[in-house]
Amino acid sequence: MSAHANEHLEDHGHHHKETFVTKYIFSQDHKMIAKQYLITGLIMGAIGIAMSILFRMQLAWPGKSFPIFEALLGKWAPDGVMDAEMYLSLVTIHGTIMVFFVLTAGLSGTFSNLLIPLQIGARDMASGFLNMLSYWLFFISASIMLLSLFVETGAASAGWTIYPPLSALPMAQSGSGLGMTLWLVSMAIFIASSLLGSLNYIVTVLNLRTKGMSMTRLPLTIWAFFVTAIIGVVSFPVLLSAALLMIMDRSFGTSFYLSDIFIQGEVLHYQGGSPVLYEHLFWFLGHPEVYIVLLPALGITSEVMSTNARKPIFGYRAMVTSIIAIAFLSTIVWGHHMFVSGMNPFLGSVFTFTTLLIAIPSAVKAFNYITTLWKGNLQFNPGMLFSIVLFRPL
């Protein structure tokens, strides 16, 4: 009887037989997905760096001819001098790749997937299927973004913030034609990927913590990833709505962002919209976005520092409170990107005040890190060196 029971227990550990495709390509295992995110993120990072080298070369020596431009950029660098629109395209796509594909998906996707189940004692993420989907949507959106570089009229070139009307009107610059449409499609898919991932992280942290792992016993890394995911869920849909309104203005003749425009010799039909609306919608994501980038790194730093200093992180509760405060405040400071946008100056005052508030928790975290180092026994492993360097500029 007991032999039977033992056999039955062993069966629970058995997975279905895995093929090459289910193990390496459409894997639902969080560690494999983390690797996929890491490699894709690194490749996108390398491409972003390559682009930045190209445009910085021309920036450093304006008007100078570089044979490598002609070799790489073809018609976009006649006689080796970069075309002005190609310069703007490189800057735009570099920014988009680095902020979204490398720092959001590449960072959060890799480390949240890898560490959350391991550090909270769960077997895997809440939904392996959604996790797999979120990676493949990320891959598709990255491919579309890269493909947009090879479009005949050029990639999106209105800056990574793609303010309308420049980005909404194909006649304003050639990069606002097909290149811009592909940018919008890529970002819509990217946002879907990011939301699926964030949902997964939130549900996993809330529901799948092992017995005895109360929220106040969570490692700071997990707190950081959890709060980052919440910020993501709150702010990315607003970027999606901004993109959708942009698609409607570009393709269906609406006037959300456009009004009273005379271009290429004629008055356009748009009436009643405002580019400032786009700026508000964009920066409502744009500001939390930078905290989505920062918080996971701070979370990892907390753990790496405390381990390598051989003492607990100083002020655990204060650190958690700071993370939550930063997350909450990050949703009410977006206007500090828009002081000269033409919005009411009083609104600028309000955002200045909230920006003052958000500086405080960041300062608290920095001082807590220094106190963690104080009277520790610091092991300068590579992770420790990186952690110290990370918060040096803070």
Name the burial class of residue 210, with classes exposed (0-12), middle (13-18) and buried (19+) by CB atoms within 10 angstroms of its CB: exposed
Cβ distance to another protein smaller for residue 20 or 262: 262
Question: CB 283 → another protein: shortest distance, Å?
Answer: 14
- Determine if 148 is a binding residue for another protein (CB under 8 A): no
**Residue pointed to by tokens 């959604």:** 130
DSSP symbols for 156-184: --STTTT-TTTTT-TTT-GGGTHHHHHHH
Q: Which of 241, 360, 386, 390 binds another protein (CB under 8 A)?
A: 360
**Residue pointed to by tokens 């203005």:** 249
Q: Which of 67, 74, 385, 386 binds another protein (CB under 8 A)?
A: 385
**Residue pointed to by tokens 């509760």:** 317
CA–CA distance, 54 with 49 (Å, rounded to integer): 9
- Determine if 54 is a binding residue for another protein (CB under 8 A): no
- Determine if 269 is a binding residue for another protein (CB under 8 A): no
Question: CB 381 → another protein: shortest distance, Å?
Answer: 5
Q: Which helix (H) or strand (E) holds 262?
A: strand 262-263
Q: Which of 48, 275, 288, 296 binds another protein (CB under 8 A)?
A: 275
Q: Which of 39, 84, 147, 206 binds another protein (CB under 8 A)?
A: 84
Cβ distance to another protein smaller for residue 91 or 196: 91
- Determine if 78 is a binding residue for another protein (CB under 8 A): no
Q: Which stretch binds another protein (CB under 8 A): 8-16, 74-82, 135-143, 260-268?
A: 260-268
Return the residues of window 196-235 that contact another protein according to CB under 8 A: none
Question: CB 371 → another protein: shortest distance, Å?
Answer: 7
DSSP symbols for 25-68: IS---HHHHHHHHHHHHHHHHHHHHHHHHHHHHHHHSTT---HH
- Determine if 190 is a binding residue for another protein (CB under 8 A): no
- Determine if 246 is a binding residue for another protein (CB under 8 A): no
**Residue pointed to by tokens 């006037």:** 255
Identify which of 285, 255, 276, 273 has the alpha carbon closest to the alpha carbon of residue 344. Answer: 276
CA–CA distance, 285 with 337 (Å, rounded to integer): 11
Q: Which of 247, 248, 276, 390 binds another protein (CB under 8 A)?
A: 276
Return the residues of window 165-184 that contact another protein according to CB under 8 A: 165-166, 169, 172-173
- Determine if 273 is a binding residue for another protein (CB under 8 A): yes
191 forms beta bridges with none
Contact 126, 226 (CB under 8 A): no
- Determine if 332 is a binding residue for another protein (CB under 8 A): no
**Residue pointed to by tokens 């909404």:** 168
* Phi and psi at residue 185, to the nearest 5°: -60, -45
Question: CB 38 → another protein: shortest distance, Å?
Answer: 20
CA-based max dimension of the chain = 90
# binding residues, another protein (CB under 8 A): 68
Q: Which stretch binds another protein (CB under 8 A): 96-104, 189-197, 240-248, 266-274?
A: 266-274
Question: CB 127 → another protein: shortest distance, Å?
Answer: 36
- Determine if 315 is a binding residue for another protein (CB under 8 A): yes
The encoded tokens of residue 80 equal 């080796």
Q: 178-181: long-range contacts (C-beta < 8 A, 24 or more apart)?
A: 178/148, 178/151, 178/152, 178/153, 179/89, 179/148, 179/149, 179/151, 179/153, 179/154, 179/155, 180/156, 180/250, 181/247, 181/250
Binding mask 87-126 for another protein (x = CB under 8 A): -x--------------------------------------
Interface residues with another protein (CB under 8 A)?
63, 84-85, 88, 158-159, 163-166, 169, 172-173, 258-263, 265, 267, 272-276, 309-318, 340-342, 345, 348-349, 352-353, 356, 359-360, 363-364, 366-368, 370-371, 373-381, 384-385, 388, 391-392
